[in-house]
Structure 1
Amino acid sequence: MANNTYDAIVIGSGISGGWAAKELTEKGLKVLMLERGRDIEHVKDYVNAHKEAWDYPHRDLATQEMKEDYPVLSRDYPLNESTFGMWANEKESPYVEEKPFNWFRGYHVGGRSLLWGRQSYRLNPEDFMANEKEGIAVDWPVRYEDVAPWYDYVEKFAGISGSRDGLDVLPDGHFMPPIPLNVVEKDVSARIKKAFKGSRHLIHSRAANITQPMNDIRVGCQFRNKCWLGCPFGGYFSTQSSTLPAAVKTGNLTVRPFSIVTQVLYDKDKKRATGVEIIDAETNQTYEFKSKIVFVNASALNSAWVLMNSATDVWDGGLGSSSGELGHNVMDHHFRVGASAIVEGFDDKYYSGRRPAGFYIPRFRNWGGDNRDYVRGFGYQGSASREGWRRNIAELGLGADLKDAMSEPGTWQIGMTAFGEMLPDHRNRISLNHKVKDKWGLPVLAMDVTIRENEMRMRKDMKQDAIDMFEAAGLKNVQGYDGEYRPGMGIHEMGTARMGRDPKTSVLNKHNQVWDAPNVFVTDGAFMTSASCVNPSLTYMAMTARAADFAVKELKKGNI
């Protein structure tokens, strides 16, 4: 092998892994980025990007064979012909459900940055303090002021469309012009604002879809709403369209696909990582790569797997387990609850294009003097259209709902689903199951995660408040719903290696360093100390850039 020694190794190539590679290479480090799945080249490998439903043999529906081979994916929207092959093979990479858990994984270069919903919001100052104030889990070791400059930094590079709304619950950022609200959404927004005397706000979504050209790779969103197929126009932020080209440009990046990291190598005398061990997914050969620092960005659950499978000769629970918290405190955002309604008076109105996002209603519960019988809160995502509204919410927008096209415009409909905060709870955990093995003979994860009383009480408001807002706006045929939710369905896994102020109660310090190995950084969803109720990916980006900056400075000082 030509080279097995680098300045830094990045495990994973998704949203946070791509950012780690970009930041570290641009700061002069020679970086190896390891991806367990296949390579996907920008544009060339987006094989379905220009197809319509009628171009697929089964009109983009899941076949019976697909359902049999992918029983987990078949529970929800991801299983279809257009994205087939973009999700992990469940036979090769199984897992154990001690409690029902939907794990939707993307094992390829770019990971779920090619498949994500692109909603991009900042946590607010209260989000970083709520655990301490309420005596829940542990306190974040950082505050909003520590992260705000990095939110600024990543928003400018990623390209976030949105409006500056001046809301303390949802901090403004650096935005391109927003994806427009349509005429009905504007009208309903005004009605809600009037009915609730300005205490509730229906605003533009803030999405990582650019509305202005950025460069020759990212020429702008074309309003095709085919983001999950890969965008040849670079219309949305992904590893392939954004961070990977920047890293490659430096000449400092090596990307190795089909590389399953089995462990972080650890020197117990120096108390430092020395590199990683991998299995080549195609040849089953084992290799070691050496580095000065390691960034673990395999996604929250797989990052915990890597740590739990590392340094087991020192700690039974793996690298970072000395606190007893590694693998615990799993969080997601619970959703699939809200309302729909008919909007009258706009039958002569229509719109052009297929927007990749709709509207957002920020959190208003347990905020500004409001107190409920639960803690934290929720926000809503939705849209109005003369088609199935669910297509504008990425987590609901594929499958049968996408296919219900009508030959002529029908009645205007509006709908929204709430995304609620899930509290960190030590009982919600993942662990290694050594009795069940994957294709490569490696132990698999066992999931023991459920929503609990606080979330169940919250869901009642998530449904009723949606009904109340639509009724207060004078809409017709208002229907609330509470669909089946299982942890994992939000695809916002968080918390398995949480940050904290004390090595006795957390896995990572305020710089995302593993307390037990300060040259190992974890900057994907695993680090989250609490979940907020907003989509978390923008926070992963900001914290990754922040940690990379710190890591390089410490490396130059000789501290790690």
Structure 2
Amino acid sequence: MKKETYINESNEVYDAIVIGSGITGGWAAKELTERGFKTLMIERGRVVEHRKDYIAEGKGPWEFPHRTKVNNLLVEEQYKIQSQCYAFHDGTKHFFGNDRDLPYSTEEGTDFSWIRANQLGGKSLLWHRQSYRLSDYDFSANLKDGIGNDWPIRYKDLAPWYDYVEKFVGISGNYDNLPQLPNSQFQPPFEMTKPEQDFVKTMAEVYPDRPAIMGRCAHLTAPQKIQVELGRMKCMARNECQKGCSFGAYFSTQSATLPAAARTGNLYIAPNSVVESLIYDEKTNKVKGVNVVDNDTLKTREYYGKIVFLCASTLASTQIMLNSKSRKFPNGIANSSGVLGHYLMDHNYNARAYAEIDGYEDEYYMGRRPTGIYIPNFRYEPKRYHKDYKRGYALSGGAGRSDWKGMAKSNGFGVDFKNKLKHPGKWGMSLGAQGEMLPNRENQMTLHNSKKDKWGIPQIHFNCKWSENEKRMMEDAAQTAAQMLEKAGYKNVQSSFSERPPGIAIHEVGTARMGRDAKESVLNGYNQCHDIDNLFVTDGSAFCSSAVVNPSLTFMALTARAVDYAVKEVKAGRL
């Protein structure tokens, strides 16, 4: 990145401002700059340079003071919430937010785990990279159930944009031809282990409506010209992903969209710039800029632009909108509907099952592949729903042999125990649920009426909890996963479900939903605010339902589509 790309003070009126640099912010910047728009990307955190700042990449566990375990006192003081994330350890903690500086509150009787990554690239450096398309069953579910509002788009509207982003991102997977899980533009899939291959065959015989497939993920397995030109290479299956990948093998802002935007010469970045609110011009009924607080000095400054893409993440974007008040919008900008902050959703990961597998002693595998097997939602339409709840869930997991990390906790001592750690143990299979959360107006985020953060911005106050529908879903998911493992002939099957709070899936969506009716939604079908035509919101806050699949691929497709629409509107003189 050129030094002149980074700015602090500026009197420039940019063609476009992009707030946020994660998955959606990166895509918005790429698309806008490639179409000739002089674009300012505003990021509240520090700069992270590709390769240079992956400080823990390649370090073995033995090179960390506590074998990647973070000091308990440090966790308690700074990372109590962030440490709940699967990706948090001593080699990645520098990519996570500091709880001490990022407080929020929850309504009594509820809880929410807000995982944050405030730096250039955001959570694109930390995501788990599972990449699936929503189907027409997902886009029409609210209408069919009468729960939430109807999505203003259908699969056919987004399908060409899924194609477009997938070719750039690089998605590994298999053409499975399933009605509830549309195919993507794939690179070759990762390979299943022999027990997984046999499990797939057994499930096809016993449960033909529950196909087990190879998980689809944003990892390059056969890099194409569009990726190689950006310096990206094939995935080496190192499981170094959340430390940062110098190969650029998994999709992130740093590996893909940022260099693509930078090479246009139209990208400028304002790091360490915490957006406090949007600057609204009542005379023109447009957003003309943003108010920013310096992350370090706490001094204020302003940036100006002709159109604004709000891509700060579901919760951060809505926080900015709620805090952008004016005479016309006393309850938050573009909030004439009153739904801003409502209908908060996350995925429910609270059920799992595990079993031991006899045999396969002569089988093992190479590398640490970044995905596993996946059983798509088989309750994807009303006639397939369970009698006790609406919507459904997917199951993901895989088979592997126990190794020294697990066996270190087993009984034994001395030479025999040490020798045991050098050899793989028994095979096992795990399955975990990923369930849909129904849209519910009472699940919401608001601004606290008195508490503020260090930048003087009102803290978020959450009132969000699982409904009985989600709880019954997880009870069934645990039982169903166990039954499937039993049908496969596995031993010592165990299952469990819990009530970990929303947020921990890190798939929060809703809060500024799209819709056809401006009285019931914030955005139209192009992620454009009903109330203010030059303000677009393209992160997860736009979702009308959570569906079952991981949402990031849809974030990308929606963002690319919204930019295309905005550019056409600008060139036509309507925006």
Per-residue deviation, residues 70-128 of structure 1 (Å, max 9, x unmatched): 22123453442111121111111111122211000000000000000100000011111
Matched residue type, 1:24: L
Matched residues, number: 546
Q: Secondary structure at the match of 1:85?
A: helix
Unaligned runs of 5+ in 2: 1-8, 407-419
Question: Is 1:44–2:52 an aligned residue pair?
Answer: yes
For 1:315 and 1:84, how far apart are their aligned partners in 2?
39
User: What is aligned with 2:517?
Assistant: 502
Per-residue deviation, residues 404-440 of structure 1 (Å, max 9, x unmatched): x943100001101010000110000000014212111
Per-residue deviation, residues 347-397 of structure 1 (Å, max 9, x unmatched): 111111111111111011254842322111110110111137999xxxxxx
1:382, 1:389 within 8 Å by CA — same for their partners in 2? no
Return the offset for 1:483: 3.4
Residue number among 553, 562, 570 corresponding to 1:538 in the alignment: 553
Question: Is 1:119–2:143 an aligned residue pair?
Answer: no
User: What is aligned with 2:219?
Assistant: 209
User: What is aligned with 1:138?
Assistant: 149
Matched residue type, 1:446: H
Q: Secondary structure at the match of 1:105?
A: coil
Per-residue deviation, residues 204-254 of structure 1 (Å, max 9, x unmatched): 100001101231521110100111110010110000000000000100000
Matched residue type, 2:539: D
User: What is aligned with 2:163?
Assistant: 152
User: What is aligned with 1:554?
Assistant: 569
Matched residue type, 2:422: S
What is the 5 A alignment of 1:349-360? 349-360=363-374
User: What is aligned with 1:181?
Assistant: 192
Per-residue deviation, residues 257-282 of structure 1 (Å, max 9, x unmatched): 10111111111121111111111112
User: Moved runs in structure 1, 4+ residues, more than 6 A?
Assistant: 388-391
Q: Secondary structure at the match of 2:101?
A: coil
User: What is aligned with 2:414?
Assistant: none
User: What is aligned with 2:178?
Assistant: 167
1:97, 1:447 within 8 Å by CA — same for their partners in 2? yes
For 2:128 and 2:84, how far apart are their aligned partners in 1?
18
1:113, 1:237 within 8 Å by CA — same for their partners in 2? yes
Q: Which moved more, 1:335-344 or 1:369-378?
A: 369-378
Q: Which moved more, 1:125-134 or 1:214-223?
A: 214-223
User: What is aligned with 2:411?
Assistant: none
User: What is aligned with 2:35?
Assistant: 27
Structure 1 length-normalised TM: 0.95
User: What is aligned with 2:241?
Assistant: 227
User: What is aligned with 1:456?
Assistant: 471
1:265, 1:311 within 8 Å by CA — same for their partners in 2? no
Matched residue type, 1:508: L
Question: Is 1:246–2:256 an aligned residue pair?
Answer: no
For 2:349 and 2:181, how far apart are their aligned partners in 1?
19
Residue number among 191, 212, 228 corresponding to 2:202 in the alignment: 191
Return the offset for 1:320: 2.0
Matched residue type, 1:182: T
For 1:78 and 1:152, how far apart are their aligned partners in 2?
29
Matched residue type, 1:192: M
With over 3 angstroms needed to count, the CA separation of the structure-2 counterparts of 1:202 and 1:253, relative to structure 1, is same
User: What is aligned with 2:72?
Assistant: 64
User: What is aligned with 1:77?
Assistant: 86
Q: Secondary structure at the match of 2:95?
A: coil
For 1:544 and 1:406, how far apart are their aligned partners in 2?
48
Matched residue type, 1:93: L
Unaligned runs of 5+ in 1: 392-404
1:389, 1:415 within 8 Å by CA — same for their partners in 2? no
For 1:413 and 1:253, how far apart are their aligned partners in 2?
49
Return the offset for 1:302: 0.3
Question: Is 1:529–2:544 an aligned residue pair?
Answer: yes
What is the 5 A alignment of 1:123-522? 123-196=134-207, 198-213=208-223, 214-215=227-228, 217-367=231-381, 369-372=383-386, 373-387=388-402, 406-522=421-537
Matched residue type, 2:275: V
For 1:502 and 1:269, how far apart are their aligned partners in 2?
24
Per-residue deviation, residues 482-533 of structure 1 (Å, max 9, x unmatched): 1342100100010010000111000101110111111000000000011110
With over 3 angstroms needed to count, the CA separation of the structure-2 counterparts of 1:530 and 1:368, relative to structure 1, is closer
Q: Secondary structure at the match of 2:52?
A: coil
For 1:484 and 1:179, how far apart are their aligned partners in 2?
32
User: What is aligned with 2:415?
Assistant: none
1:124, 1:144 within 8 Å by CA — same for their partners in 2? yes
Matched residue type, 2:54: Y
User: What is aligned with 1:395?
Assistant: none
Identity %: 49
Q: Secondary structure at the match of 2:100?
A: coil
User: What is aligned with 2:96?
Assistant: 87
Structure 2 length-normalised TM: 0.93
Per-residue deviation, residues 53-86 of structure 1 (Å, max 9, x unmatched): 1111111112122222222123453442111121
With over 3 angstroms needed to count, the CA separation of the structure-2 counterparts of 1:389 and 1:290, relative to structure 1, is farther
Return the offset for 1:133: 1.1
Per-residue deviation, residues 293-323 of structure 1 (Å, max 9, x unmatched): 0000000000000100113332221112211
With over 3 angstroms needed to count, the CA separation of the structure-2 counterparts of 1:118 and 1:425, relative to structure 1, is same
With over 3 angstroms needed to count, the CA separation of the structure-2 counterparts of 1:390 and 1:142, relative to structure 1, is farther
For 2:22 and 2:404, how far apart are their aligned partners in 1?
28
Matched residue type, 2:368: R
Matched residue type, 2:472: R
Q: Secondary structure at the match of 1:21?
A: helix
